[in-house]
Structure 1
Amino acid sequence: MSAQFDQVSVGDELPTTDITVTRADLIRYAGASGDFNVIHWNERVATSVGLPGVIAHGMYTMALGGRYVSEWVGDAGAVLEYGVRFTNPVPVPDDETGATLTFGGKVTKTDQEARTATVTLTALSGEQKVLGKAIAVVRLP
């Protein structure tokens, strides 16, 4: 799904992608990141602090959005800027199904001289927005 600059216009929609997050993914991410916060693996503690249950790491959710954009552009090194605000947690049930994150995006700006595109992402868990102001700037071939 590699995008080319001469084929990208403001208003273009990126194809939506569903990504499943399971408790096993949270364990792997905790090991890789060193973030072993108990709310990411212990249901009792997570609910005792007012969460709906065990939640995905915010940075893991952000990383999945970054992967979505880098797969669209075709090169992780082409992502020049990327930032988000965390708006809602992603509850991850303790079952085989896990949680589904749905990513989408729209080209909101292009720069002919720099051959860049600005993409505004959407990230939903169910009907709930989980990332706000999710914006990436990518260089396109």
Structure 2
Amino acid sequence: MDVNTDLKNMKLEDPPMQMDSDDSSGVQEKDKEKMELPETMKQLHIEGSSSGNSSVNFKRKPVIVLVVGMAGSGKTTFLRRLVCHTQSSKMRGYVMNLDPAVMTLPFGVNIDIRDTVKYKEVMKQFNLGPNGW
């Protein structure tokens, strides 16, 4: 399901802001939004809370970031900054190194492929050069 496509198809628009001091029109507008919320959630395939109250019970899905690029393009520098940011923001993160030939990493990783793959042995076994050619 593509959420962006669904949002475009639904043609959602923000209701006009009212600057009147008339409280009853503001209450009516809020009631209208509450009535439209379940229909919008149904169109986006979002489940509401099971308790029946008006709060929404969104299930958080993990964010996965894969960083690929040419040698020297800044992958390690970017990841170092990202890991520092997540740690300082008290966000949970899980970091994996999938480069068996990297010598050092400026950040800690949870899983390191260097623990299981010895790149020099792979190079000898398959007669490969430093870039896998």
TM-score by length of 1: 0.22
Higher helix share: 2
Q: Which has the higher contact order (CA 8 A, sep 6+)?
A: 1
Q: Which has the larger radius of gyration?
A: 2
Higher strand share: 1
TM-score by length of 2: 0.23
